[in-house]
């Protein structure tokens, strides 16, 4: 019997450009980037050089601290270029796909019959291990550690998030194999966060199910953990995204490294928003057709509009992302905008505007304009806590992070959060602080001090 948890706090950001439930384009692999930057705590060591040929599933990068953790190529082909940034920091390995698409065969196995060591070995070898993210801190899971529990949020409440049923509805056999495999890795339970009993994931067995009802960030796994079994000091739990769960399952059901997925192309600046079938690491040039007439003035975000990263039109789709958001850069000035009593075309969660009277179905064509200048925190903690369904004090936490006070950070719950969990607080902040960045800095400090 699954328990239902209703979260009253939160904020759904009504941005326009939801993707239509159809796959409008299948991106044939041309060039694919393997990017180590998406993984926190991963120090890349190159295993290939330019001109090498790789198969789908061949290792490309290894972690310097733990050579067992690999990143593998999602396509077969040849290594075309190794992209480095400042101080020779490794940014991406570009692989040009060939026509044959051969895969490394990891062998079909029944995950339910393997033991923990075999599952761990299979995930490490195939390059699927980095899907396992450790909390606290959001780093790649340590293969030696024994997590208390493993959490999977099967849905996303982020603005314009892809529809879980549409993306994963037909992959339940793989998801079941994924749950079977994950349950070997923990002495505790595998917890699934569902958005309702109609979710396709509700059919999965071997995992504890929890139904969450509420606004964003109710779908964030961090929020769900804090309501199922909060993370205390010295607890370690792992999280996996639904795409990762399916990919892990497919490794056992098909014997292949298969991370192909449906990606929602969304956002107010997207032309006919819909889904594409793609691999992580595809160049954003492939979706140029969605940018419409103003490609120069459009921000291309890999991920959602709150926590995704601005990769630019020349960037690549992130490893974990199954959403691309296109939004117009709001560089125009607005005469006396702040005092305009109505401002009907702009959304605000604050009652000093009138968007709260508007019907809930109304969507806004948002831009990246900051709508004000940066200021010190002025409003109360409660102003932010109303959009965060967690039992923490968000502004006290952010200020502790700013001050670099480790004791206070611990006290206010740094173990429970990742920056994405406080994204709604950042959205509503009238002082325009970068709260997610503050949390990120705090986590980095914790990592440094606790190491």
Name the residue with tokens 């694919």: 32
Q: Which CB atom, from 259 or from 311, has the smaller least distance to other proteins? A: 311
Decide if residue 404 touches other proteins (CB under 8 A): no
Please give the residues from 172 up to 211 whose contact with other proteins meets the rule CB under 8 A: none
Contacting other proteins (CB under 8 A), which of 254, 411, 445, 447? 411
Q: Which CB atom, from 99 or from 336, has the smaller least distance to other proteins? A: 336
DSSP letter for 161, please: P
Region from 24-32, 53-61, 83-91, 422-430 binding other proteins, contact rule CB under 8 A = 422-430
Residue 93, phi then psi, degrees to nearest 5: -110, 120
Decide if residue 378 touches other proteins (CB under 8 A): yes
Q: Which CB atom, from 127 or from 268, has the smaller least distance to other proteins? A: 268
Least distance (Å) between residue 159 CB and other proteins: 8
Question: How far is residue 287's CA from residue 211's CA, in Å, rounded to a whole number?
Answer: 35
Residue 139: which residues within 8 A CB-CB, separation 6 or more? 39, 40, 41, 133, 447
Question: How far is residue 351's CA from residue 254's CA, in Å, rounded to a whole number?
Answer: 53
Least distance (Å) between residue 352 CB and other proteins: 4
Residues 50/53/56/60 CA torsion (nearest 10 deg): -40
Decide if residue 350 touches other proteins (CB under 8 A): yes
Token couple for 193: 């966060």
Decide if residue 393 touches other proteins (CB under 8 A): yes
DSSP letter for 390, please: S
Question: How far is residue 74's CA from residue 278's CA, in Å, rounded to a whole number?
Answer: 11
Decide if residue 18 touches other proteins (CB under 8 A): no
Quick check: 24 and 230 in contact, CB under 8 A? no
Please give the residues from 34 up to 53 whose contact with other proteins meets the rule CB under 8 A: none
Region from 70-78, 124-132, 245-253, 380-388 binding other proteins, contact rule CB under 8 A = 380-388
Least distance (Å) between residue 242 CB and other proteins: 23
Decide if residue 332 touches other proteins (CB under 8 A): yes
Contacting other proteins (CB under 8 A), which of 381, 400, 415, 442? 381
Candidates 186, 231, 236, 164; CA nearest to 414 is 231
Sheet of 298-302, strand order: 20-26, 274-278, 261-266, 323-328, 298-302, 309-310
Region from 2-10, 41-49, 201-209, 431-439 binding other proteins, contact rule CB under 8 A = 431-439
Q: Please state whether the peptide bond connecting residue 188 to the residue before it is cis, i.e. omega within 30 degrees of 0.
A: no
Q: Which CB atom, from 259 or from 306, has the smaller least distance to other proteins? A: 306
Decide if residue 295 touches other proteins (CB under 8 A): no
DSSP letter for 367, please: B
Question: How far is residue 246's CA from residue 195's CA, in Å, rounded to a whole number?
Answer: 18
Least distance (Å) between residue 431 CB and other proteins: 6
Please give the residues from 301 up to 330 whose contact with other proteins meets the rule CB under 8 A: 301, 305-308, 310, 325, 327, 329-330
Contacting other proteins (CB under 8 A), which of 105, 294, 334, 449? 334
Region from 31-39, 275-283, 285-293, 426-434 binding other proteins, contact rule CB under 8 A = 426-434
Contacting other proteins (CB under 8 A), which of 382, 404, 449, 450? 382
Residue 22: which residues within 8 A CB-CB, separation 6 or more? 274, 275
Contacting other proteins (CB under 8 A), which of 347, 398, 414, 442? 347
Decide if residue 357 touches other proteins (CB under 8 A): no
Query: Taking the CB of residue 85, how many other CB atoms lie within 10 A of it?
Result: 10
Contacting other proteins (CB under 8 A), which of 232, 288, 358, 403? 232
Contacting other proteins (CB under 8 A), which of 172, 369, 445, 447? 369
Contacting other proteins (CB under 8 A), which of 49, 351, 360, 448? 351
Please give the residues from 111 up to 150 whose contact with other proteins meets the rule CB under 8 A: none
DSSP track, 206-217: SSEEEEEESSTT
Residue 216, phi then psi, degrees to nearest 5: -55, 140
């Amino acid at each position: 019997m699954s328990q239902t948890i209703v979260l009253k706090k939160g904020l759904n950001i009504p941005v326009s450009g939801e993707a239509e439930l159809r796959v409008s384009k299948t991106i044939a692999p041309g060039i694919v980037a393997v990017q180590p930057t998406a993984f926190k705590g991963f120090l890349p060591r190159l295993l290939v050089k330019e001109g090498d040929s790789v198969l789908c599933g061949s290792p490309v990068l290894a972690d310097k601290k733990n050579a067992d953790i690999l990143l593998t190529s999602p396509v077969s082909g040849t290594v075309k270029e190794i992209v480095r940034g400042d101080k020779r920091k490794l940014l991406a390995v570009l692989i040009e796909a060939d026509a044959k698409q051969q895969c490394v065969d990891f062998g079909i196995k029944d995950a339910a019959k393997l033991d923990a060591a075999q599952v761990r070995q299979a995930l490490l070898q195939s390059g699927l291990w980095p899907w396992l993210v450790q909390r606290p801190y959001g780093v790649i899971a340590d293969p030696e550690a024994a997590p208390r529990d493993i959490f999977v949020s099967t849905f996303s409440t982020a603005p314009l998030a892809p529809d879980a049923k549409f993306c994963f509805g037909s992959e339940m056999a793989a998801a079941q194999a994924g749950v079977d495999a994950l349950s070997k890795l923990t002495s505790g339970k595998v917890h699934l966060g569902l958005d309702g009993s109609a979710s396709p994931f509700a059919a999965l067995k071997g995992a504890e199910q929890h139904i969450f009802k509420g606004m964003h960030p109710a779908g964030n796994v961090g929020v769900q953990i804090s309501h199922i079994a909060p993370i205390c000091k010295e607890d370690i739990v792992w999280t996996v995204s639904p795409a990762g769960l399916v990919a892990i399952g497919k490794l056992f059901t098909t014997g292949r490294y298969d991370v192909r997925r449906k990606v929602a192309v969304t956002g107010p600046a997207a032309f006919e928003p819909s889904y594409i079938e793609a691999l992580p690491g595809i160049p954003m040039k492939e979706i140029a057709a969605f940018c419409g007439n103003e490609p120069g003035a459009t921000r291309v975000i890999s991920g959602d509009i709150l926590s995704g990263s601005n990769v630019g039109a020349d960037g690549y789709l992130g490893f974990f992302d199954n959403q691309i958001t296109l939004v117009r850069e709001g560089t125009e000035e607005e005469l006396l905008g702040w005092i305009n009593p109505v401002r009907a075309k702009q959304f605000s969660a604050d009652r000093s505007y009138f968007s709260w009277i508007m019907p809930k179905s109304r969507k806004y064509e948002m831009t990246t304009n900051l709508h004000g200048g940066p200021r010190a925190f002025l409003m109360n903690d409660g102003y932010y806590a109303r959009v965060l369904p967690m039992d923490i004090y968000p502004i006290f936490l952010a200020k502790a992070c700013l001050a670099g006070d480790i004791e206070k950070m611990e006290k206010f719950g740094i173990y429970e959060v990742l920056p994405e969990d406080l994204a709604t607080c950042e959205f509503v902040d009238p002082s325009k602080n970068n709260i997610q960045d503050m949390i990120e800095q705090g986590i980095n400090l914790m990592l440094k001090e606790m190491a």
